[in-house]
Structure 1
Amino acid sequence: MNYLYIICFFYEALHLLKFNVYIPIVNVIKKDFMKHYWQTIVRSWQGREGYGIINLKRGSKMEQYWEKADYSWTDDSIRCFNTPSQRARQLFYYVQEIGHFKAMKPYFTERQHLKSYLLKYTFGGKGKLIYEGREYTLEKGDVFFIDCMNYQHYSTISDEPWEMDWIHFYGPNADAFYGEFMKNGSNVFHAKNGRISQIIDETMALVETRNAKAEFRISLLIHEMLNEVLIQKYDLAFEEENIPDYIIEAKKFLEDHFKEKITLQDLERVCRLNKYQLSKEFTHYIGIPPIEYLIHFRINTAKRLLRYSNKSVKEIALDVGIEDPPYFNRLFKRKTEMTPLAYRRNG
């Protein structure tokens, strides 16, 4: 059996280096294939500091990727490895690993410095996540989303298997989505429906049946998943009908008086609320501060006039409440990345 260990060792080395190896590796690893190998590895590393240690150079700093794990999952659990093309790494969101586990005690993973994002959706059983100094209990319908560069430890804590869909992924805009996700400081939320899990399943099917269009479709699905994560997480905080009346009043005032010079003091008088508190509440419910909302409303109105009227840029600037045309040009370009005249021509 020694030759099998050698083969498995080199296979796992490719797995550990999967973000730097540009060959098509798409495989489904079941417990019955790897069980004996992993038991041998665990025994051979028993008492040592870690398993799977690799130096990753990020900028000028050397960081160690390391991982410890127990692979106690059922025979019908699935783990798919994927190495994306160079094109996908440059242009798309892409899968690094994806799967569906029914993991029994003492299943766990502990790692740090892996350039990847991980999302898990819990179907049943219970898991525990330790991340960024916080501890979360994961039950049916719970989702966690983490940056694997930071220290993480997750494990099964229930007597029955912890069943979950999961996906390791990365992409050019993944950092920005994660930053938006973490605005409330929590890596865990309870899903409102099963769409996130459905997307993971659809993505896994594409990884397993790889074809010429798969990377395009996988990128679209991951993008949909990230949008769904944000929608479901932040819809839980409040429903649209629960937006306070004073916020609705402030929003309507901005829209009705957008041609006028409006300050936070004006809104303070209208809403009878301290301007700093009003700005904070408005941002929470509407998504941007009130003055930024006013600017966006003016720009959107200007776009409509540029597209559907023959008015000059100067006239349009005045129509949206901006008396200085050069400032209007600069503001429009900053918000749209083109001048008003360019927008009109391209329209």
Structure 2
Amino acid sequence: MGNIRYLIDDKNFSDFNFELLYITKSKFENDWHSTAHIHPFMEIFFITEGNGAFQLEDSIVNVKENDLIIINPNCLHTEKSNLNDSPLEYIVLGIGNFSINFFNLNNTKFSQSDIKTYHIINFKENSSNILNQLNLIIDEIKLKNYKYEVACKSMLSLFILNILRTTPSVSILQNEKKNLSLECAKIKNYLDAHYSENITLETLSTLSYMNKFSLIHTFTKQIGMSPISYLIEKRINEAKSLLETTNYSIKDIGSIVGFSNSSYFSQMFKKQTNLSPKQYRFQKSSY
């Protein structure tokens, strides 16, 4: 009797220790409100019909049928549809404990800080396979047969492998940093959206249901700076943009981005950039 044994070389499957949080079918209608937001987990969108646009960080990207949009944890985003022509329809997966690297594994000149937080792939040639895999997951959840959770995890693994195998420019992201906790993600999202308002530690403590000590400790550990330092950095970055693109007075810009005192604004701006707001504007206008 002849035997051929096939061995699995690498038995470490820690890269695939993700979890399916949800899968949703959505269709844009007139009552849809698009609000930019973040999640402490990955989302993968597959456009099944229509066209529209995604806000992804600071970019607006057009999307169409058969586009697959991968959004890594903590990427600011929202979806917008072309309601008058062809309303956007999509299936979206929420996936915890997982991130994807959007550079080729052989490209070593990029650091972790350079890694993009989103990527769009068009699956025109393989769209039926992608859609079938997603519908199988949905059907499994609908039926809820014995150990359907295990089946969904296996199907999700095959779905992600399909993406990785057919797209050379993506790979599993080996990142020592853990995804943000829900509390930190909520605070960061709030600061990104409300930076121009009067925000105190008490405000953030109430928002996150954490005492101030725990809030500062947790946020600093995960973000790399305290909540107030993050807020100041956000305001300064917004001020830079206004100094470069508008003729607003320095006093008005300080007020617009959330500084109640123009002297304090100038002090913080110089601390962050080594230039006064006036010097920064002059430098940028002379390029």
Q: TM-score surpassing 0.5?
A: no
TM-score by length of 2: 0.44
Bigger relative contact order, structure 1 or 2 (CA pairs below 8 A, ≥6 apart): 2
TM-score by length of 1: 0.37
Return the structure number with greater helix share: 1
Return the structure number with greater strand share: 1
